[in-house]
Amino acid sequence: MNSIRTILTSSLLLLTATTVSAWSGQIKVSTPHMAMYLHAHEGEDLRLDYMGATSASSLELEESGDALQAAAIPAFGTADMTWLPALQVEHANGDLNLELVVDKVSTSSDANSKTTIITMKDKLQPFTLRIFYKAFQNADVIETWTEISHHEKGAVRLRRYDSGHIVIPQGDVWLTHLHGTWSAEMMPVNERLAPGITEIKNTDGTRNAHLDAPEIMLSLDGEPNEHTGRAIGAALCWGGNYDIRVSTMENKMHHLYAGIDPQSSQYVLDPGKTFTTPPLALTYSEEGMGGVSRNFHRWARHDGMVHDGTGVRPILLNSWEGIYFDITEERILKMMDDIKSMGGELFVMDDGWFGRKYERNTDNAALGDWVVDTKKLPHGLKALTDGARERGIKFGIWLEPEMTNTKSELFEQHPDWALQVKGRELKKGRGGTQLVLDLTNPKVQDFVYRTIDNLLTANPDIAYIKWDANAPIQNYGSTYEPADRQDNIYVDYHLGLQKVLQRIRKKYPKLIMQDCASGGGRANYGILPYFDEMWVSDNNDPLQRVFIQWGTSYFFPANVMAQHIATSPYYNTGRVTPIKFRCDVAMSGRLGMELQPSKMTEEERRQATTAINDYKALRQTVQQGNRYRLVDPYTHPVAVLMDVDDSRSHAVLFAYRVRYLYNDVVPRVRLQGLDPAASYTLHERDVKDGEKSCSLDGKTFSGRFLMDVGLDIPLQKDYASRVFELTR
Ligand code: DGJ
């Protein structure tokens, strides 16, 4: 299902809303294992009394005197001024205050969810805030967001417009967030909440998951634990700049605020328009961080947070690290032969295939000139799509649709289409020439849409698009937005991008699309409703990938994580690793390859073929199963994780040696997620050619034994790895 995330519209919400009595006191918003209690009385402020396990009754909360009584959306001017505001506006007449009181409460529902909508009005100004809580019954996730509208005499400036605010009682609470950079994305950071404010934000403009990602966890019972303890997860579903703050003050609460970053984005909202903030997805689990992850994975797959979350993805070869810009028809067709011969199902031609006046032989030219370079591909794309069809595989192609280069026909013809400030020298990105297109401009939106539409109309056999984005917004200015709306650029850029993606998805619902941004720069739930998968990192070194994939899996399901087998030694770390280790690491997500197969040794080819064939038997469970991270490579010399299908009849276990020192202690691995009463037979997969399976192969154990006593997994050397299939 494709969900429309953030929309600027003057229309009313198209839900069949039924007004219910607001005066029944407390409102309970709940999923099977999570509840929020809100106190909504007409004419009073809206309060959040509780968030946590669903077992707490409102009566008990009241009796115990434990209701938190926190403003649900603290607004500047009303809330306790020592709190951070979640909402602050500058009214048309310059008034900076809001005194929001409940006007009415309504609910609506669909097959999987129930939405509670609280409408609040300012006591003085014609200003309305609607707060939404959408509780998913199949995923233990509650999304919250707001709609802001007004009928004042002029525009209102949104100085702060968080999507949500929650409070939890103070205690030994730990924050986990993901920090990183290009080629080292998603490294978990754990810190105990201390008095003060912790802020996590990203100001890149186009991408938002390099450096810090817009998802966090809060462990409520002391240091984060993978398997036990109460934990809250929060993901801001937005592709642009964001601001997440955790504040611990002198009161008895920790406050979590999350929303679009208002720095340089004090959005100007005209009368009669509605601004919808992006959803903040919240989850709660009593199974520690692993439980939070599984809740997010289920919600992502089933509730439209990924374009086709339940699809099983094909095994592919991507041309980038194999041949970079050196594309020729002969090379591409040969690579198709190679991936087909190893059992692959899709070939993706990466960067370098386009350009007319300017050639794309390096990264400094031709973005925006989406015509085939006939020097490289004399028979056009048709020869390639025909070639793929003849070989019985699918064909995919790379584009970077939001960008241009100063050396391009597009920029020569439409210099105003790039974000820029008239009179100021352009700051250029990748290749010393790259610029970001002005997606606030409907003409540019249309150009980007037509780029994809024309390509797919002319080449209906294109089954997959890799959509890249390799530059931040460096020139903060739009020739389209009026002078008094320049504050809207960061936000309108992403609303414009969403409009384009919605049009593409409407016409091409089955197209597989990968979101990529210099690796994992767009690992966020703002963009994923339009994409099927994301490129996890440009770093394909399997050792570092174990760590990057570990962190990414905190929030993203395996079918979304594109993981490729690459060369050894690897170009950016120089590390030499065995082909089996490379295959096993890539197999724990959406398996692919990224190398020149003609340079593979016979041994490498044999192993990759084995891995691909074995993966076909495992991928349903890997891509759609429930993930358990069993042994953490950050604290142990091995990483072990497993995926279990919903019926607990099939499971896959991956074990990787990430450090080998003589006498290092490797823990016995206690499995999870199995049926204790059932028996499981182990089958070792992707066994190295010429070697025997390990002693565990073919043995049968009870689920109880595997979970209570566990297994000693033989991993006795550097880069040793094992893949086991468990069948009930
Ligand atoms: C950055 C991506 O992350 C790479 O995978 C590759 O597609 C290059 N761009 C191509 O320029």
Q: Spell out the domain ranges in the chain.
A: 6-304, 316-535, 628-727
Please state, in angstroms and rounded to a whole number, the distance separating the CA atoms of residues 655 and 633: 10
Residues 412, 416, 420, 423: what is their CA dihedral angle, to the nearest 10 degrees?
Answer: 90
Ligand 1 atom closest to residue 518's alpha carbon, by position in its atom list: 3
Task: Give pLDDT, residue 66.
Answer: 72
Residues 459-503 have pLDDT tens digits of: 999 999 999 999 999 999 999 999 999 999 999 999 999 999 999
Residues 69-92 have pLDDT tens digits of: 899 999 998 877 778 999 999 999
Please give the distance, rounded to the nearest whole angstrom, from the Cα atom of residue 400 to the centre of ligand 1: 9
Q: Is 525 in the pocket of ligand 1 (CB under 6 A)?
A: no
Please state, in angstroms and rounded to a whole number, the distance separating the CA atoms of residues 163 and 257: 8
Q: Which region among 31-35, 75-79, 226-230, 668-672 has the lowest average model confidence (pLDDT)?
A: 75-79
The mean pLDDT value for 209-217 works out to 95
Please give the distance, rounded to the nearest whole angstrom, from the Cα atom of residue 321 to the centre of ligand 1: 9
Contact 658, 543 (CB under 8 A): yes
Q: Is 353 in the pocket of ligand 1 (CB under 6 A)?
A: no
Residue of the nearest CA to atom 10 in ligand 1?
351
Confidence class of residue 17 from pLDDT cuts 50, 70 and 90?
Answer: very low
Residues 302-340 have pLDDT tens digits of: 998 999 999 899 999 999 999 999 999 999 999 999 999
Residues 123-174 have pLDDT tens digits of: 999 999 999 999 999 999 999 999 999 999 999 999 999 999 999 999 999 9
Please state, in angstroms and rounded to a whole number, the distance separating the CA atoms of residues 491 and 325: 33
pLDDT reading at 419 higher than 80: yes
**Token pair recorded at residue 652:** 């896959």
Please state, in angstroms and rounded to a whole number, the distance separating the CA atoms of residues 465 and 366: 18
CA 23 vs CA 64, 106, 114, 124: distances in Å: 22, 12, 19, 23
Please give the distance, rounded to the nearest whole angstrom, from the Cα atom of residue 606 to the centre of ligand 1: 27
Task: Give pLDDT, residue 113.
Answer: 97
Residues 95-133 have pLDDT tens digits of: 999 999 999 999 999 999 999 999 999 999 999 999 999
Phi first, then psi: what are they for 340, rounded to 5°?
-60, -45
Please give the distance, rounded to the nearest whole angstrom, from the Cα atom of residue 516 to the centre of ligand 1: 8
pTM of the model: 0.95
pLDDT reading at 1 higher than 50: no
Ligand 1 atom closest to residue 324's alpha carbon, by position in its atom list: 10
Secondary-structure class of domain 316-535 per CATH: alpha beta
Q: Is 174 in the pocket of ligand 1 (CB under 6 A)?
A: no
SS (H, E, C) 649-699: CEEEEEEEECCCCCCCCCCCECCCCCCCCCEEEEEEECCCCCCCCCCCCCC
What string of DSSP letters covers 567-633? -SS-TTT-----HHHHHHHHTTSEEEE-S-GGG--HHHHHHHHHHHHHHHHHHHHHHHSEEEEEE-T
Residues shown for the chain: 728
| Residue 322 parent element (H or E) | helix 320-323
6-304: CATH number: 2.70.98.60
User: For residues 282-311, b (16+ Cβ closer than 10 Å) or e, as one string?
Assistant: bbbbebbbbbbbbbbbbbbbbbbbbbbbeb
Residues 265-304 have pLDDT tens digits of: 999 999 999 999 999 999 999 999 999 999 999 999 999 8
Residues 35-50 have pLDDT tens digits of: 999 999 999 999 999 9
Q: Where are the alpha helices (DSSP H) in 109-180?
A: none
Please give the distance, rounded to the nearest whole angstrom, from the Cα atom of residue 652 to the centre of ligand 1: 30
Please state, in angstroms and rounded to a whole number, the distance separating the CA atoms of residues 126 and 213: 36
| Residue 366 parent element (H or E) | none
Map residue 544 onto helix, strand or coil. Answer: helix
Bridge-based pairing state of the strands 316-318 and 590-593: parallel
Please state, in angstroms and rounded to a whole number, the distance separating the CA atoms of residues 201 and 541: 28
Phi first, then psi: what are they for 162, rounded to 5°?
-65, 150
Number of C-beta neighbours around residue 677 at 10 A: 9
Confidence class of residue 18 from pLDDT cuts 50, 70 and 90?
Answer: very low
Q: Is 517 in the pocket of ligand 1 (CB under 6 A)?
A: no
The burial of 459, by beta-carbon neighbours within 10 Å (0-12 exposed, 13-18 middle, 19 or more buried), is given as middle
- What is the percent of the chain with per-residue pLDDT over 70, rounded to a whole number? 96
Confidence class of residue 67 from pLDDT cuts 50, 70 and 90?
Answer: confident
Which long-range contacts link 702-708 to residues 24+ away (Cβ below 8 Å)? Answer: 702/676, 702/677, 702/678, 703/648, 703/671, 703/674, 703/675, 703/676, 703/677, 703/678, 703/679, 704/676, 704/677, 706/670, 706/671, 706/674, 706/680, 707/670, 707/671, 707/672, 707/674, 707/676, 708/670
Q: Is 398 in the pocket of ligand 1 (CB under 6 A)?
A: yes
- What is the percent of the chain with per-residue pLDDT over 90, rounded to a whole number? 91
The mean pLDDT value for 523-550 works out to 98
> Which residues are CB-contacts of 252 (< 8 A; sequence separation ≥ 6)?
169, 170
Q: Is 401 in the pocket of ligand 1 (CB under 6 A)?
A: no
Confidence class of residue 55 from pLDDT cuts 50, 70 and 90?
Answer: confident
Secondary-structure class of domain 628-727 per CATH: mainly beta
Residue 273 carries which DSSP code?
Answer: -
Please give the distance, rounded to the nearest whole angstrom, from the Cα atom of residue 207 to the centre of ligand 1: 14
> Considering the chain, what is the average pLDDT of its residues?
94
pLDDT reading at 262 higher than 50: yes
Residue of the nearest CA to atom 1 in ligand 1?
518
**Token pair recorded at residue 211:** 């450096």
Q: CA quadruple 315, 321, 324, 326: dihedral positive or negative?
A: negative
pLDDT reading at 16 higher than 60: no
Q: Where is pLDDT greater, at 168 or 5?
A: 168
Task: Give pLDDT, residue 60.
Answer: 82
Please state, in angstroms and rounded to a whole number, the distance separating the CA atoms of residues 461 and 603: 33
Mutate to test the pocket of ligand 1, among 464, 516, 594, 595 (most ligand atoms within 8 A of CB): 516
Please state, in angstroms and rounded to a whole number, the distance separating the CA atoms of residues 552 and 297: 11
